[in-house]
Amino acid sequence: MKPVRARWNGAILVCGKCSKKVKGGFGRGGRKPLAKALRKHCRIAKGHEGHVGIVETKCLDICPKGAVVALNSAQTGLWHIVQPGADLDEVAHTLNLDCPK
């Protein structure tokens, strides 16, 4: 195996299937998926270059109707159901995501 250095201090996992089901729902105009909207809102680079990873996963087997499941990998015992249109500052705070103002 060959190691690859990442700059991540942690990771936020967002259900990609939920995101597809709600057809975006976040960001300006409500058209961006949660992972992308959070990345933009908190100015986090995509991939291994960012200080935190925001990763879309497969179905997490919660499957809320009209919402998206997200969690901080440092708090795997606490998952969050995020409604479309939720305030991204509040979402970042809830997920303990370091988001510059």
Q: What residues are paired with 56 via a beta bridge?
A: 14
CB-nearer residue toward ligand FES: 57 or 96: 57
Q: What's the farthest any 2 CA atoms get from each other in the chain?
A: 44
Taking CA atoms, 12 is separated from 2, 29, 67, 79, in Å, by 24, 23, 16, 10
Q: Residues 13 to 32: which contact ligand FES by CB under 6 A?
A: 15, 17-18
**Tally of helices (H runs) and strands (E runs) in the chain:** 3, 4
- Tell me if 12 sits within 8 A of 54, measured CB to CB: yes
Q: Does 62 bind ligand FES (CB under 6 A)?
A: yes
CB-nearer residue toward ligand FES: 55 or 60: 60
CB-nearer residue toward ligand FES: 45 or 63: 63
Contact residue for ligand FES among 6, 59, 74, 78 (CB under 6 A): 59
Residues in the chain: 101
CB-nearer residue toward ligand FES: 7 or 23: 23
Instruction: Say which amino acid occupies 58.
Output: K
Q: Does 12 bind ligand FES (CB under 6 A)?
A: no
Q: Does 60 bind ligand FES (CB under 6 A)?
A: yes
